[in-house]
Each structure stands twice: as C-alpha cells, then as structure tokens.
Structure 1
Amino acid sequence: MHFTCTQQTLSKALNTVSKAVTTRTTLPILKGILLETTGDNQLRLSASDLDLSIEKTITVSVSEPGAIVVSARLFSDIIRKLPNDTIEIHQMENNQILIRCMSSEFTIVGLPADEFPNIGIVLEQQSLFIEKEILKELIKKTSFAASIDESKGIIVGVLMDISLEQITMVALDGFRMAVNREKMDNKQEQRLVIAARILNEINKIMMDSEEETISMILDEKKAVITMQDTRIVLRLLEGEFIKYNDILPKNYNCRVILNRSDFLESIERASLLAKEGKNNLVKFSIEGESMEITSRSEEGTVRETVMIEKLGDNLEIGFNSKYVLDVLKVVTDEQIILQFNSSISPCVIKPVEGNAFEYLVLPVRIATN
C-alpha cells in the first residue's frame, strides 16, 4: 500500500472512525484501525468494537493498493500532530508503515489486515428514513436517562418505538425516565433498542454530516446507518424493553405550572449546598402561589422561591437535584408542568400543551425530625 493525502482530510476521517475503537478489550486488533485502499483512489478506514463498527471512505492518491491495521491511538496522534500538508504513507515489509510529511518521518508497526473482524452485512428487512435534526434532538433529550451500569441489561439502551404516525424514544435507569415523541410518517411499525453509548457517538458523527436525512437499514440483530461517505453498523440490544406507558402516572393530586428557566437557575443555586453523599438532596415546598426550594449541608443552607400556578394539594417532596437538572437542561419550552401525587411518588415533567415529552423522576425520602 502506498498513498498520499492531506493531513486535514486524514485527521478528520480518523476522528470519525476512532469513535468505534475500544480500550476495554484484550484483543490488540480491536484497538486498531484498518486502512484499506480501494479502487478509484479511495482509502477506506474501519474500526470496530464488535457492537459498533464505523467505516469512512476518503479520496487519496493511490500508487499501490494494500491493507494494514494500525494502532488507533498512536496513528491518530501522529497524524494529528503533523503539519497541515501532504502526507505520504507507504506499507513496508513485516507489517510496518512509513509515514512522511515535510521534515517528519515515522515508522510504526501494524497488524495483518486479515485479522481484522468482518464488519458484515445487514440483511435488509426494514428501512427507515429520519430527518437528521429530529434524530439529534431525540437522542439528546433521552439518552442521558439510560443506565450506565452494564449489568442492568437492556436499560443501557434507548428504545425507538416507531408507529405509522410518530417516533417515540424512551430511556430509563431505575431513578428517572425520559420519553420524547415526534410526529413522523412511517411505512412500518418497528421497535428497536440501541445502546445509549452508541447513539451518543452517532450524534457526534451526525454533527459533521451535511445530509438532512439519515438512512437506517434494519434486520433482527443489526442496523446500518449511512451518511455521505460514512457507514455505521451497530448491534441492536436483544430482549423486551420495559412497558413505559404502564409506568407513567395517569392522575395527580398536585399540578404546578412554572417558568423553566427560573426553576433551572434556582435548582442550580440550591444544589451548590446539596451533598453528593446525601443524594444531592433539594426539597420542594409547594404552597399557594410559590414553591420554596431548599437545601442544607454542614456548610450552610439555601432557600430559593419560584412563582407558580398550582392546582390541587400542597406538598413537600425531595429530589436528587442532578436528575431534575438533567431534564431542565434539555427541555426548551418556556413554561412546563410538574405533576405530583405524594411525597413518595414520582414527579412527571411535561409540556403545557401536547405530549412531545414526559420525564419521570423518582423522589428522595426526606428524613423527618
């Protein structure tokens, strides 16, 4: 293999495929990136952690075809540090490659290309087209609520529940749940679960894509997302996702309408004294036309007051401030509704009109003196 290209083009491509490189493996080949020259002066870069695989194709000047696997970390670091000029890469004997750029020259050891895992093909059973901006927003507004504990099984993923008229994305971790809906005409109904970690990497790649519509091809175990010169193959999570509609409370005893920004800023200030060892506890006291938000620690106390419109009972309830803040930071509505049943029942955060989102947050028990 022998080719030349610009430093900027190669560095950008490496940044994309590196998102599929894992450090949590004992297999050296999975810590690498496959470089493969194809016809018509094309270089295909591939990386895989077996759950997520990314291929990126760029235009280079090929003198000699070939393929080799290089250390993702070392090769990317070298290319990133080289001057913004033409880079020459030459595959030599014993799986070594020579990298030249202006006055710099590196020789590094690679691995045989035939040891790299086959990313494989997806037998198309269904296809889905989603507007990029819609998918980006849905991921941003739900993925944070998925569990980060790998032992929790399917709830490390985000459910995509696709009906003929809308797409609903759901994530939960046992302490909170995020549900977001977007109207969309679909040809078929489909339910699939994708690891939140993978969706977040896809979101980063979409930010660099100029395409307005994302194509997704599905079979029972895998999905392929195609964007410009990038192909992403991902493993779908298997199992039955929790019936989220059964979790959402249907009634309430206390309903509050308030300004989201005022509420967010008040909780951010109150959480400065919320102790992490005590569940970042902030207490809401809802009475009349105001909500008092308080927090205390050995270092002091804080009291914030937010004006509200209330319907129903007065209430005192405690929350982990982080879980409430995570919701308020992704919601963009100026006014929101909070619905409560009791001091030990979850709070539901929803829009004043429609059902575009519903967030459920479990309370923290407040110690009684």
Structure 2
Amino acid sequence: MKLRIDHADLAAAVGYAARTLPSRPPAPVLAGLLLDATGDERLRIRAFDYEVSADTTALAAVTTPGRALVPGRLLADITAALRDDVHLDLDGTRLTVRAGSARFTLPLLPLEEYPALPEPGTITGTLPAPAFAEAVAQVACAVSREEALPVLNGVGLRHDHEAGTLTLSATDRYRYAVRTLPWKDAALPDTNTVVPGRALLDAAKAAADGATVDLVLPADSNGLFALHGEHHTTTIRSLNGELPKYASLFPTEFAHTATVEIAALKAAVQRVALVSPKKDGPVRLTFTGDGTLALESGTGDDAQALDAVDTALDGAELAISFNPTFLLDGLSALTTEAVTFGFTSPTKPAVLRGHSSDDQALRYLLMPIRQTD
C-alpha cells in the first residue's frame, strides 16, 4: 500500500472510525483500524468491536493498493497532529506515515485475525441528517447510566408505517423523553427497536453535517441497526427488550399550565442549586397567580437560596420539587425560547414542552420529588 492524502481528510476519517474503538478490546486486534487503499482512489477505514462498527472513506492518490491493520488510537493521535499532505507507505510489517518533516513508523496487527465486519440490511427510510442528530441529542439526556437494566441504556426507535413517522424515546425511570420525526420512503412494517444510546448519539453527531441519513431498522430484537451518511456507515447491535410504554404515562389534560422563559429559568435553577449539600438536592418551584415563579433550595440549618422569575400561570397556585439536574437536562433539550409546564398535581409527573410546539416536538416527562414540609 502506498498513497498520498490530505491531512484534514485523513484526520477526519480516522477520527470517525476511532470513536468506535473499545477502551478495553475483547481481542487485541479489535484495537486496530483496518486501512484499505483501493484502486478507485479512495482510502477506506474501518473499526469493529463486535457490537458497533464504523466504515468511512476519504479521497486519496493511491499508487499501490493494499490493506493494513494498525493501532487505532495511536494513528488517531498522530493524524490529528499533522498539517501537511500525508504519505502512507506499507513495507513488510511496518506502516510509515510521513507529513512534511515528520515521520512515524507503526507496527502492524495480524490482519488475518481481524473479524469480518457486519453487512447492514436494506435501507428502511431517509431523514434530514441535522434533524435526526437533534432528535437523538434531545432524547439522549434521559438515557439511564445504570447497568442494572441494560435496555434503559438505549434509545427506542418506533416506526409507524401508516403515520409515516419515526419516534425516538428514552427513560431512566425518573424522566421520559419522546420526539417524533416524519420521514419519507419508510418501507418497513411497524417495528420497535432499542439502540445503545451513547453509540447512537456518536453516530448521529458524526453524520449531522450531511444532507440526509439513511437508516436501517432491524426487524427483530438484538438485530443490526445501521446509519448511512454521505461518506460514513455505522452499524450498532440493538439491545434485547423494549422500553416501558410511554403513551399512557403522558397526561393529555392538565389542571395547571405555566410558561417560563428557558434562559431565565435555567440560570435561576443553577443559582439556587448551589446551596444543595447533594448534587441532586431538590429545587422547589412555586408558581403563583401574580406572575411569579419562586425557586427555593436548602432546608433547616443548611444553606438556603431563593430566586424568582416571571411566569404565566393558567390554574391555581402550585408548588412542586424537582431534581435540578434532571430539570436542567429537559430545559436544555428544548429548542424554543420558552417552556410550557403541564401539571396534573404536585405529586404526579409534569410534562415539559417547547412553548407553542406541535405534537411531534420534544415532550419531557419529569417525576417530582416529594418533600415534607
């Protein structure tokens, strides 16, 4: 293998594939990146850890086609530091990387031990890449970080063929985030799958700069999800099981609604939460009829904080307490200037939505914290 490639193109391609590399590879060869210089003037770079695979290409002036398996994280660090055209030259058991006056010689990993990468199935449908990346990021804030229930570490993808929609959802049992997208050419019957949240978020972010993404939804649990971008393909093994049904959890009628400017509310929550002895100590929100939302944190002999912002309340005065981190996550996920809270009672979950948003926009269900007066 012998080729020349733009340093920025190489760094971007290597960086995309390297994010898939496992921190603790189940086999030494899975710490490598597979480089494949083809005769069509492209360098193909792939990574695989049995659960997630990355496959990307970059334009290159290929003199001699060839393949090599090289230490992935080391190559990523090197390519990120280069600033001139890069020359790759495979000679026996070493790969030479040259750019300007810099020269690196890398050992090779045994190519014959590298497993075959999975082949994604038939494309299910197409979405605008920025919209899909935004939707994934919005619901990913509710993905559980606990390992006790692995299915809660994922994002649910529900395809409704008749409605022509793809609904993304995530929950950690304390909040539930749901976002729906219309999509075209969705050819699969109704299906549900749960995809590991971190891997899906990384793949969606990497593809966000493109115009569109093609998705492959598996027909059964533990199947293979795939995302095709303009130059990238990522496959992710889906999780066994399903997320809890969310339709019955979201109330459709509210006894109280309140609208608040998001920026002002986030700043106030961050201020009053400073006095909490615990990171997740509750923040109490009191919505009053005079257009004021009072925020309180801290109790008894501990430090205490008070703040207030403007609100528009429809209904009787209401006091409710939330985990401040979970509240801030929901506010940050909204893309509008104001949030509308929907309440049924101070002890039941509240629904946060962007003010004047439609039914397909983000809905964020948040459990309150019960406090004794």
Provide the TM-score with structure 1 as the length reference.
0.90
2: CA distance, partners of 1:77 / 1:350? 42
CA separation of 1:68/1:322 partners in 2, compared to 1, >3 Å: closer, same or farther? same
Structure that is richer in helix per residue = 1
Amino acid at match of 1:318: S
Instruction: Map residues 25-40 of structure 1 onto 2, 5 A cutoff.
Output: 25-40=25-40
CA-to-partner distance for each residue in 1:196-238, whole Å, 9 max, x for gaps? 101211122123x3x3121123443113322222222222223
CA separation of 1:120/1:313 partners in 2, compared to 1, >3 Å: closer, same or farther? same
Instruction: Map residues 5-154 of structure 1 onto 2, 5 A cutoff.
Output: 5-82=5-82, 84-93=83-92, 95-124=93-122, 127-154=124-151
Amino acid at match of 2:155: V
1: CA distance, partners of 2:165 / 2:351? 21
2: CA distance, partners of 1:333 / 1:219? 33
User: Do structure 1's residue 281 and structure 2's residue 282 form an aligned pair?
Assistant: yes
CA-to-partner distance for each residue in 1:14-49, whole Å, 9 max, x for gaps? 111111111132421111111112222321110122
Deviation at 1:276, TM superposition (A): 2.7
Amino acid at match of 2:67: A
1: CA distance, partners of 2:346 / 2:153? 28
SS of the residue corresponding to residue 349 of structure 1 reads: strand
Q: Counterpart of 1:190?
A: 191
SS of the residue corresponding to residue 300 of structure 1 reads: coil
CA separation of 1:313/1:119 partners in 2, compared to 1, >3 Å: closer, same or farther? same
Provide the TM-score with structure 2 as the length reference.
0.89
SS of the residue corresponding to residue 12 of structure 1 reads: helix
2: CA distance, partners of 1:219 / 1:319? 37
Q: Counterpart of 2:364?
A: 359
Give the number of aligned pairs: 362
2: CA distance, partners of 1:334 / 1:3? 50
CA-to-partner distance for each residue in 1:291-323, whole Å, 9 max, x for gaps? 210112777322112232333343322111111
SS of the residue corresponding to residue 276 of structure 1 reads: coil
SS of the residue corresponding to residue 227 of structure 2 reads: strand
CA separation of 1:282/1:103 partners in 2, compared to 1, >3 Å: closer, same or farther? same
2: CA distance, partners of 1:335 / 1:76? 41
Identical counterparts, % of pairs: 24
Deviation at 1:90, TM superposition (A): 2.1
2: CA distance, partners of 1:105 / 1:137? 40
**What is the CA RMSD across the aligned residues, in angstroms?**
2.2
Amino acid at match of 2:13: A
CA separation of 1:122/1:101 partners in 2, compared to 1, >3 Å: closer, same or farther? closer
1: CA distance, partners of 2:55 / 2:194? 22
Amino acid at match of 1:357: L
Q: Counterpart of 1:307?
A: 310
1: CA distance, partners of 2:115 / 2:148? 25
Q: Counterpart of 1:332?
A: 335
Deviation at 1:275, TM superposition (A): 3.1
User: Which structure 2 segments of 5+ residues have no match?
Assistant: none
Instruction: Map residues 204-353 of structure 1 onto 2, 5 A cutoff.
Output: 204-207=205-208, 209=209, 211-220=210-219, 221-277=223-279, 279-289=280-290, 290-296=292-298, 300-353=303-356
Deviation at 1:265, TM superposition (A): 2.2
1: CA distance, partners of 2:285 / 2:227? 44
CA separation of 1:304/1:110 partners in 2, compared to 1, >3 Å: closer, same or farther? same
CA separation of 1:299/1:96 partners in 2, compared to 1, >3 Å: closer, same or farther? farther
Deviation at 1:153, TM superposition (A): 1.9
Amino acid at match of 1:102: G
Amino acid at match of 1:9: D
User: Which structure 1 segments of 5+ residues have no match?
Assistant: none
